[in-house]
Amino acid sequence: MTRVLAISGSLRRDSHNTNLLRAAAEAAGPDVEFLLYDGLKEIPPYDEDDDVHPRPASVSRLGSAIDAADAILFSTPEYNSSIPGQLKNALDWISRPVATNALRNKPVAVVGASTGAFGAVWAQAELRKVLAALGARVLDVELPVAQAHTRFDETGLTDEEIRGALADAIEALAAEVEARQDERTHAVA
């Protein structure tokens, strides 16, 4: 069983990005346990003076959720050609301490949705850059969902091509998790 933590960069209730992650949960096979993270909004602004033990509970909770997951699937909106500030803020907390941060060596993939014509491609690229800086294993996955407001109805995602791409992204994450487990087994043997 692969445990995938899904983190949406959007805080709003009817977020297309959160809905995209819900669709990913449905598209995932039976061997994937999917958890949608719901605590991003509670994370305080990063302040190095506050980055002491114990860390704020909301930050510890996110760190523990990442620790407990085998892989992370992010879906990010694009805010002014980049990622939303609160997502970056959360990653700044997670990035410390640098050598042992929770995302180091963690398989991660990034998808994204925007109401514009380009499907948050720049935000996805920015997020992959930040995740790489943290030492995550960033998969070569890109899923730009353009005109996101036209892709969902009350039943969820209506686009089969996107559903297939989501399934592929999760499969790629599961394969990376497996490859990493094999590497560890061989290192021990």
Q: Which is nearer to ligand FMN, 18 or 95 (CB)?
A: 18
Q: Which is nearer to ligand FMN, 46 or 122 (CB)?
A: 122
CB of 115 to ligand FMN, least distance (A): 4
Helix intervals (H) in 53-159: 57-68, 85-94, 121-133
Residues 6 or more apart whose Cβ sits within 8 Å of residue 165? 111, 143
Residue 1: DSSP 8-state:
-
Smallest gap from residue 53 Cβ to ligand FMN (A): 34
**Contact, 38 vs 58, CB < 8 A?**
no
The interface mask with ligand FMN, positions 93-112, x = CB under 6 A, is --------------------
The residue ranges of DSSP E strands in the chain, in sequence order, are 2-8, 32-36, 71-76, 107-113, 137-138, 144-145, 152-153, 156-157
Q: Give yes or no for residue 124 binding ligand FMN (CB under 6 A).
A: no
User: Which residue, 45, 139, 60, 143, is CA-closest to 102?
Assistant: 60
- Taking the complex as a whole, the smallest distance from the CB of residue 59 to ligand FMN amounts, in Å, to 23
15 binds ligand FMN (CB under 6 A): yes
Single out the residue of 122, 121, 112, 109 nearest to residue 148, CA to CA.
Answer: 112
* Binding flag, residue 116, ligand FMN (CB under 6 A): yes
Which residue of 58, 86, 89, 115 would you call a contact of ligand FMN, by CB under 6 A? 115
Considering only residues 32 to 91 of the shown chain, the ones binding ligand FMN according to CB under 6 A are 77-81
Q: Please give the residue ranges that form the binding site for ligand FMN (CB under 6 A).
A: 10, 12, 15-17, 77-81, 113-116, 118, 120, 148
